[in-house]
Structure 1
Amino acid sequence: MKQNEEGMRLNKYISHNTPYSRRDADKLIEEGLVTVNRLPVKDFGYKVRPEDKVAVRGKLIHPRKRGEVTMVVYNKPRGVLVTKRDDRGRTTIYHKLPGKFRHFIPVGRLDYASEGLLLLTDNPEVADVLMGSKLPRTYNLKIDKPLTPEMEKAMKEGLILEDAREGGHKESEITRMEFAPFLEVQYRGQSGKNTKLRVTIAEGKNRELRRFFGHFGAKVLDLKRVGFGWVELNNLPENKTRYFTRQEYDTLHQFLKEARKND
């Protein structure tokens, strides 16, 4: 996580220090609305130096202080996309979230049919570190089959699939997927053929749990994330947000400190 303002690409510098996304920054640069030292710059590869004065639409950007971050916990409902825009006009989290969080970045994804804990931050660097981490993710899920010895073995030992398309989005280009051993599995009950589980994994791959159980012919009927690292959903109502507690911020800063050491 070695990151400073010197040598940062212009579009990244803008997204890192303003509410604009990287895509928004690219468009602003292309339209000549970004100046460096009062001169328009259309070079996407321009590396910002400490002495540079960067402005967007004439407004000077003030570089974010190291470690400055705001974190939000959101209980995402089903039927909502984790994306800025959808070309099919479907509801996204930004239709649901208060306007003051319009520029916040989701830490990873929950697919359209999934619900539960979603972290958001105004700091792209922190988002990248959390997304790429091995922090545990905990889910409550229900599948339409009883647990089999084969499922239990794969959850314990891990699994490599050359064809992991079952359970994935039909337009996904991902075929091969490697599943690490689950960190924890709790059996939560049986209702007819349906099985309820609480599982903890250390990755956040594309539809990972749906693909895992899909390999065994089981469909995930319900999927709700209830924990991410040291943060828990608890009783946060659906479609509501809360800020990190002081303790959660303290743990985050300690985690980021360790991440910088290991980078």
Structure 2
Amino acid sequence: MPTDNTDLPRLQKVLAGAGVGSRRVCEDLIAAGRVNVNGKRAQLGDKVDPETAEIYVDGDRVVTDANLVYLAFNKPRGVVSTMSDEKGRQSVADFVERLPQRVYHVGRLDADSEGLLLLTNDGDLANRLMHPSYGVSKTYLAEVSGTIPRGLRKRLVQGVELEDGPAHADDFRVVDTTPRTALVEIVLHEGRKHIVRRMLDEVGHPVSRLVRTAIGPVKLGDLRVGRWRRLTASEIAGLFRAVES
């Protein structure tokens, strides 16, 4: 790690390396006053330590530390949300063991649930994303039994009483229906254990399949089951935006 400012790279080189744009574009951003470093407006000619500097462009965080990893993972059903398992079950770690950096899961999905998990070695961001005070939204698709009655959205948004207190959905909609089942989407920011399953069970619609499709600005999209991808710069910036105090 550089210790002398003269050995540090220029800001425009660091920004270009982080994918913000060409060096010329990054120079223009700095000259226009659109870049802040460690809380101060940057100037042309500034040098920064990419491993420690907090850099913002137009108010969005730009991660320049090449050691930090941010991944989206599509967890298969039956895989436990741990980085090791004393019972020998397949875990998240089995899918990322070839990564040079050690990453950790942000929050959990129960073994019977599928879909989006975030993996990172950025402990500060992970802790903020999991802290209930920030209320980062999570979106789920659930296959449930029964016919969905009118007024269920209102009931879920207003809140249902569970054994550990009331739970509220941020949004709810019916995606598809069959004579005996329905596919519904539910959005909430709570992280209590089995919260989606318990809420839908409480209103008479037990869940047979549950897939998390989004966490804040990060969407599962067409990521194949059991695969992971690196988050884009805009997705990372969106996550930092979601946990700004």
Alignment CA distance shift 1:102-1:112 (3 Å): farther
Give the match for residue 183 of structure 1: 170
Q: Secondary structure at the match of 1:242?
A: strand
In 1, the alpha carbon distance for the partners of 2:208 and 2:146 equals 10
Is the Cα–Cα contact under 8 Å of residues 143 and 220 in structure 1 kept in the other structure?
Answer: yes
Q: Secondary structure at the match of 1:203?
A: coil
What pairs up with 1:72-91 in 2 under 5 angstroms?
Answer: 72-91=71-90
Is the Cα–Cα contact under 8 Å of residues 216 and 242 in structure 2 kept in the other structure?
Answer: no
Give the match for residue 222 of structure 1: 209
Compute the displacement of 1:247 (Å). 1.3
What pairs up with 1:40-79 in 2 under 5 angstroms?
Answer: 65=52, 68=65, 69-79=68-78
In 2, the alpha carbon distance for the partners of 1:222 and 1:101 equals 34
Is the Cα–Cα contact under 8 Å of residues 216 and 239 in structure 2 kept in the other structure?
Answer: no
Alpha-carbon deviations, 1:3-36, whole Å to 9, x = none? xxxxxxxxxxxxxxxxxxxxxxxxxxxxxxxxxx
Is the Cα–Cα contact under 8 Å of residues 141 and 223 in structure 1 kept in the other structure?
Answer: yes
What pairs up with 1:17-32 in 2 under 5 angstroms?
Answer: none
Letter in 1 for 2:72: V
Alignment CA distance shift 1:150-1:87 (3 Å): farther
Is the Cα–Cα contact under 8 Å of residues 74 and 239 in structure 1 kept in the other structure?
Answer: yes
Gaps of 5+ in 2: 1-50, 55-64
In 1, the alpha carbon distance for the partners of 2:75 and 2:101 equals 15
In 2, the alpha carbon distance for the partners of 1:156 and 1:198 equals 13
Correspondence 1:202 to 2:202: no
Correspondence 1:107 to 2:106: yes
In 1, the alpha carbon distance for the partners of 2:176 and 2:200 equals 17
Q: Secondary structure at the match of 2:99?
A: helix
Compute the displacement of 1:193 (Å). 1.5
Root mean square deviation of aligned Cα? 2.1
Q: Secondary structure at the match of 2:185?
A: strand
Alignment CA distance shift 1:159-1:217 (3 Å): closer
Give the match for residue 158 of structure 2: 157
Correspondence 1:129 to 2:117: no
Q: Secondary structure at the match of 1:189?
A: strand
Is the Cα–Cα contact under 8 Å of residues 94 and 102 in structure 1 kept in the other structure?
Answer: no
Compute the displacement of 1:253 (Å). 3.8
Correspondence 1:240 to 2:227: yes
Give the match for residue 21 of structure 2: none
In 2, the alpha carbon distance for the partners of 1:97 and 1:78 equals 17
Compute the displacement of 1:190 (Å). 1.3
Compute the displacement of 1:88 (Å). 2.3
Alignment CA distance shift 1:212-1:93 (3 Å): same
Compute the displacement of 1:108 (Å). 0.8
More divergent stretch after superposition (242-251 vs 97-106): 97-106
Q: Secondary structure at the match of 1:195?
A: strand
Compute the displacement of 1:144 (Å). 1.3
In 2, the alpha carbon distance for the partners of 1:127 and 1:184 equals 24
Report the TM-score, using the length of structure 2 for normalisation: 0.67
In 1, the alpha carbon distance for the partners of 2:125 and 2:142 equals 28
Report the TM-score, using the length of structure 1 for normalisation: 0.63
